[in-house]
Structure 1
Amino acid sequence: MKDNCIFCKIAAGEIPSYTIYEDDDFKAFMDISPASKGHTILIPKVHADNLFELDETVASKLLPVAARIAKALKAELHCEGLNLLQNNGEIAGQTVFHFHMHIIPRYEVDKVVVKWVEDKYEGEPLDQLSEKIKKHL
């Protein structure tokens, strides 16, 4: 637990939350500034600033929990779609530096915008770039 981390405090129960799921590793709660009805935040209870620091064992358990929550949201809210959003680093839009995933139900009439402008990559050839990246795996 990190002393000044709001999500660590929520995970520990020091700050109340509208919890919809909790187990030994994770806690999921309603976002108090939601992008849409049912917007949920899923956090690991063990602190990691971002995906780069997240333990692989914890990471391997994350998506099944997110899928379970997504199915519950769809069953209750009848949303037409869903976004899983996870930002890493300030440049990527991360504002709370405890790994977390947004589970955002989508509706035809919502005001959620998750888009980017398609562009052409004009750097080194992709075969060369992919080989360089593989060296780190």
Structure 2
Amino acid sequence: MTGGECVFCDIVRGRAEASVVHEDDATVAFMDLRPVTPGHLLVIPKAHAQGLEDLDVTLGTRVWSAAHRLGRALRGSGLRCEGVNLFLADGKAAFQEVFHVHLHVLPRFAGDGFRIDADWKVRERDELDENAAAVRAGLARLP
């Protein structure tokens, strides 16, 4: 993918502005342009990967490690942070809007207004066991 097609690749190459808070040889973290709360960060791999299917496992580990460290840093930053959510949207159905893997690091506090709404009802064990079997089958097909 070329720089003009991916704003996050443009950020990595210095062709687009970003308020960078962390950078290493594999990842960059910067402030979200539309933050849910003050301090809302995005952590991305420098190498373009559209989604989890394209993301090298080692690189994914580096993204997660950077997000973990930044989540801890938010607590000592002076920004309001009573908790932290890590959120990754993989695919359009999951609300991914920029198709370059990015892990949101969201400082949270009571009354911040951020919600993920779903049908959180308890499921029957048979349904859970069936779904677990499907995921195990998916794992078996991975290289």
Report the AA paired with residue 22 of structure 1.
Answer: E
State TM-score, norm by structure 2: 0.86
Structure 1 segments of 4+ aligned residues over 4 angstroms from their partners: none
State TM-score, norm by structure 1: 0.89
Report the AA paired with residue 89 of structure 1.
Answer: G
CA distance in 2, matches of 1:131, 1:113: 30
Aligned residue number for residue 28 of structure 2: 27
Checking the alignment, whether the CA contact within 8 Å between 1:21 and 1:27 is kept in structure 2 is yes
CA shift in 2, pair 1:112/1:133, >3 Å:
closer
Unaligned runs of 5+ in 2: none
Q: Tell me how far 1:78 sits from its aligned partner.
A: 4.6
Q: Aligned pair 1:57/2:53, yes or no?
A: no
Q: Aligned-pair RMSD on alpha carbons?
A: 2.0
Aligned residue number for residue 102 of structure 1: 104
Mapping for residues 1-137 of structure 1, pairs under 5 Å: 1-3=1-3, 4-76=5-77, 77-119=79-121, 121=123, 125-137=127-139
CA shift in 2, pair 1:95/1:42, >3 Å:
same
Please give the per-residue CA displacement for 1:54-92, whole angstroms capped at 9, x wherever unaligned. 111101222221111111111012510011110011111
Q: Tell me how far 1:41 sits from its aligned partner.
A: 0.6
Report the AA paired with residue 67 of structure 1.
Answer: H
CA distance in 2, matches of 1:105, 1:56: 26
CA shift in 2, pair 1:82/1:115, >3 Å:
farther
Seq. identity, %: 37
**In the comparison of the two structures, how many residue pairs are matched?**
137
Q: Tell me how far 1:21 sits from its aligned partner.
A: 0.2
Checking the alignment, whether the CA contact within 8 Å between 1:2 and 1:47 is kept in structure 2 is no
SS at match of 1:57: helix
Checking the alignment, whether the CA contact within 8 Å between 2:80 and 2:108 is kept in structure 1 is no
Unaligned runs of 5+ in 1: none
Checking the alignment, whether the CA contact within 8 Å between 1:85 and 1:103 is kept in structure 2 is yes
CA distance in 2, matches of 1:127, 1:120: 13
SS at match of 1:43: strand
